[in-house]
């Protein structure tokens, strides 16, 4: 199979030197990419932290058609990469997408400070925000859900694995939320965990069939599930 894996975090630029981001560094996605390569698949890894490949692999795969890495930094970078490789004709050569990246839910559309009149907010346009403002407001608006672009409008027909992170849910609640998210994105499988338990376990499955997978088994178990889904699809009804 040819597998695309996304890993890491996206940055939302506030100015040219500052950004809003999250805590994730792409280790889970990179482990999945390395496991896919170990199992003989062709891998295209989109990651914000390509150095993690060297950190996690005893012997990093040689760069070439069988293992390629593309670096992104911002939401727009990742959006462009995914659309380039998954949309339309290009997507027909990809057999599976494992969308593990922690993508920004919001983007900055303006930075404001106090205006000369009471209650007025004045936009700021600076390459680097000065430190002397008494107050700043950052306006955030929702970004596109990239995973929800994959089926339509991009028309990708391969296997799709969605990742879902929640905070403070029980396993039963997590499964319910994960399944709803999988259906919304038309994904074949979902891998879900909680912030509290992410170092220990995850739920993997679809429909009514979910398995609790220990963290150290996640990469091989998830790749085995993807291979099974791919084989079933090729076999037909």
3-state SS, the chain, equals CEEEEEECECEEECCCCCEECCCCCCHHHHHHHHHHHHCCCEEEEEECCCHHHHHHCCCCCCCECCEEEEECCEHHHHHHHHHHHHCHHHHCCCCEEEECCECCCEEEEEEEEECCCCCCEEECCCCCCCCCCCCCEEEEEECCCHHHCCCCCCCCCCEEEEEEEECCCCHHHHHHHHHHHHHHHCCCEEEEEECCCCCCEEEEEECCEEEEEEHHHHHHHHHHHHHHHHHHHHHCC
* pTM recorded for the entire structure: 0.92
Q: pLDDT 10s digit of each residue in the chain, 237 long?
A: 999 999 999 999 999 999 999 999 999 999 999 999 999 999 999 999 999 999 999 888 988 889 999 999 999 999 999 999 999 999 999 999 999 999 999 999 999 998 777 778 889 999 999 988 888 999 999 999 999 999 999 999 999 999 999 999 999 999 999 999 999 999 999 999 999 999 999 999 999 899 999 999 999 999 999 999 999 998 877
> Which among 135, 176, 125 has a CA at the least distance from the CA of 16?
125
Residue 45 exposure: Cα atoms within 13 Å on the Cβ side: 29
| pLDDT score for 103 | 96
CB atoms within 10 A of CB 27: 16
Tell me the residue length of the chain.
237
| pLDDT score for 236 | 75
| pLDDT score for 97 | 98
| pLDDT score for 138 | 94
CB atoms within 10 A of CB 44: 21
Q: Set out the domains of the chain in order of their start, with CATH numbers.
A: 2-105+143-235 (3.40.50.10300), 109-139 (no CATH)
| pLDDT score for 191 | 98
Identify whether the C-beta of residue 69 lies closer than 8 Å to the C-beta of residue 45.
Answer: yes
| pLDDT score for 20 | 93
| pLDDT score for 45 | 98
| pLDDT score for 115 | 79
| pLDDT score for 208 | 81
Structure-block tokens of residue 193? 């965990």
Rounded CA-CA distance 21/214 in Å is 27
| pLDDT score for 108 | 95
Identify whether the C-beta of residue 158 lies closer than 8 Å to the C-beta of residue 96.
Answer: yes
| pLDDT score for 63 | 81
| pLDDT score for 58 | 83
Identify whether the C-beta of residue 91 lies closer than 8 Å to the C-beta of residue 156.
Answer: yes
137 CB-near residues (< 8 Å, 6+ apart): 111, 112, 113, 121
| pLDDT score for 167 | 96
């Amino acid at each position: 199979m040819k597998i695309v894996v996304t890993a890491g975090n996206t940055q939302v630029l506030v100015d040219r030197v500052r950004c809003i981001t999250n805590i994730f560094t792409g280790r889970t996605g990179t482990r999945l990419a390395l496991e896919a390569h170990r199992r003989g698949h062709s891998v295209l890894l989109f990651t914000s932290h390509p150095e993690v490949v060297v950190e996690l692999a005893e012997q990093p795969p040689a760069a070439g058609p069988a293992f390629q890495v593309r670096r992104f930094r911002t939401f727009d970078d990742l959006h462009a990469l995914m659309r380039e490789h998954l949309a339309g004709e290009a997507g027909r050569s990809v057999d599976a997408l494992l969308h593990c990246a922690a993508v920004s839910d919001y983007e900055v559309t303006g930075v404001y400070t106090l205006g000369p009149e009471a209650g007025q907010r004045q936009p700021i346009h600076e390459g680097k925000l000065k430190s002397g403002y008494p107050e700043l407001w950052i306006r955030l608006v929702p970004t596109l859900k990239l995973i929800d672009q994959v089926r339509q409008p991009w028309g990708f027909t391969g296997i799709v694995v969605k990742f879902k992170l929640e905070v403070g849910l029980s396993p039963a609640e997590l499964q319910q939320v994960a399944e709803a998210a999988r259906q919304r994105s038309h994904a074949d499988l979902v891998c879900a965990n909680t912030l509290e338990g992410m170092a220990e376990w995850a739920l993997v499955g679809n429909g009514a069939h979910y398995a609790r997978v220990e963290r150290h088994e996640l990469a091989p178990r998830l790749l085995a599930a993807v291979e099974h889904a791919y084989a079933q699809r090729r076999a037909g009804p």
